[in-house]
Amino acid sequence: MSLADDLYRETILDHYHNPRNHGAIEHPTAQVEGVNPLCGDELTLYLTVKDDKIEDVKLTAKGCSINTASGSMMSELLLGKSVEEANQIVDLFKRMMLDKKEEVELPEELEDLEALRGVKKYPVRIKCALLPWNTMLEGLGNVLKSPLP
């Protein structure tokens, strides 16, 4: 297996070629820009949260395959989740990508994210995978700070 096979697996390529929830929301509850100054990657995350539930999520991203695929998978998994559940998933994913000591296990419903585990072998690319998730954390935080009336 070649090195790049870790990065360019089928799941990643599928999300890269057909990113889910691509686009914008006209009146979102939260809208956050994420930037990766090292690669120049940019993304805008739109969130609609109603009754503590993520009703809609959209992303417009200008970035590499890892970044695009990671954001696409994230949007699929977090859609319909409560803010707290979403925060927990983000936290778990970040631990999986960043924990150097042990392999963090993922529950079955998050198994798509396994495809991104291979990115860990390429330290410079980890930040590409994390950008959408860090942006999501900021978005969820904004939702909590200014709940809808």
Partner 1 sequence: MSENLNKLNVEQIRKDFPILQRQISGKQLVYLDNAATSQKPRSVIDAITAYYEGYNANIHRGIHTLAEEATDAYEGVRETVREFIDAEQTHEIIFTSGTTEAINLVAYTWGNANILPGDEIVLTAMEHHSNLIPWQRLATERSARLVFIPLTEDGQLDMVEAKKLIGEKTKLVAVTQMSNVLGTINPIKELAQLAHSKGAVILVDGAQGVPHVKTSVRALNVDFLAFSMHKMLGPTGVGILYGKTELLNAMPPFQSGGHMITSVWREKATWSELPWKFEAGTRNIADVIASGKAIEYLSALGMDNVREHEIEITKYALNKLNELGDITIFGPKNATLRGGVISFNVDAIHAHDIGQICADAAIAIRAGHHCCQPLMRDLNVMGTARASFYIYNTKAEVDLLFEALKEADKVLGHVACR
Residue numbers of the site for partner 1 (CB under 8 A)?
2-4, 7-8, 13, 16-19, 22, 38-41, 62-67, 122, 125, 128
- What's the closest the beta carbon of residue 63 comes to partner 1, in angstroms? 6
Question: What are residue 45's DSSP bridge partners?
Answer: 32, 59
- What's the closest the beta carbon of residue 23 comes to partner 1, in angstroms? 8
DSSP 113: G
Q: 2 or 146, CB closer to partner 1?
A: 2
Q: 14 or 85, CB closer to partner 1?
A: 14
- What's the closest the beta carbon of residue 132 comes to partner 1, in angstroms? 15
Amino acid at 142: N
Please, what sign has the CA dihedral across residues 112, 115, 117, 119?
negative
- What's the closest the beta carbon of residue 41 comes to partner 1, in angstroms? 8
Question: What are residue 82's DSSP bridge partners?
Answer: 53
Q: 25 or 39, CB closer to partner 1?
A: 39
CB contact at 8 A, 114 and 85: no
CB contact at 8 A, 12 and 34: no
Q: 62 or 95, CB closer to partner 1?
A: 62
Q: Measure the CA–CA gap between 42 and 48, rounded to whole angstroms.
A: 20
Q: Measure the CA–CA gap between 65 and 49, rounded to whole angstroms.
A: 28
Q: 65 or 82, CB closer to partner 1?
A: 65
- What's the closest the beta carbon of residue 144 comes to partner 1, in angstroms? 31
